Structure 1
């Protein structure tokens, strides 16, 4: 469960940093939020990986939810366009990430203990 909290924090800080980047164009003080947000995001992502989440799954979720949240919030905060086609694209990205996550869970559950033992012997 810890890895999911860390990943959520990584996504939230990355989205905050991205939104602050737009604000920093007019108010340079926001560059402090950009730097600290991206630094925190990468630190939390490293913690997510260290906690045992696979890189492909973690990065996919981080990227997809980051894109979805940033696009949605920038439409609300900065009045940027968010068309139906963009919404469909975001939904497809999220569906793809969910598919990868489901596939990784299935692969982990069907992997036999013998295979895991052999992998450890090779390493």
Structure 2
């Protein structure tokens, strides 16, 4: 169950951050509300995850997966420049999360 709540927290964080991009500095109502609601859900689900998983592992997975996903969304859908350094950075984030998980996710 802890991985299900963590996955939900990651998806909510991705929604919130993507909505923030479209909120135009919180001047557009619906993307601003999407940002607030997304982060509220993300933190709520992350808090539930922390009942069963260590904070270091949970936060590393949550922030790492969110960072990698947002970077990919930016490059693929929003038109941000793609270069070798960005791709390497995303791969290093993913590798870091994997290494932390090898240490145990409890």
Please give the TM-score of this superposition, normalised by the length of structure 1: 0.79
Q: In structure 1, what is the Cα distance between the partners aligned to 2:96 and 2:77?
A: 27
Q: Which protein is richer in helix relative to its size?
A: 1
Over residues 11-39 of structure 1, what are the superposed CA-to-partner deviations in whole Å (9 max), with x where a residue is unaligned? Answer: 00001100100101076121000000000
Runs of 4+ in structure 1 off by over 4 angstroms are: none
* Structure 1 segment 22-101 matched on structure 2, within 5 A: 22-25=21-24, 28-29=28-29, 30-50=31-51, 52-101=52-101
**What RMSD over aligned residues (CA atoms) do the two structures have, in Å?**
1.6
Q: In structure 2, what is the Cα distance between the partners aligned to 1:89 and 1:76?
A: 16
1:104 aligned counterpart, secondary structure: coil
Over residues 21-68 of structure 1, what are the superposed CA-to-partner deviations in whole Å (9 max), with x where a residue is unaligned? Answer: 010107612100000000000000001111x11111100011111001
Q: Which residue of 1 aligns with 2:18?
A: 19
Contact 1:71 1:82 (C-alpha < 8 Å) held by counterparts: no
Q: Which has the larger radius of gyration?
A: 1
In structure 1, runs of 5+ residues without a counterpart are 109-123
Higher RCO, Cα 8 Å, sep 6+: 2
- Name whichever of 37-46 and 68-77 sits farther off: 68-77
Please give the TM-score of this superposition, normalised by the length of structure 2: 0.90
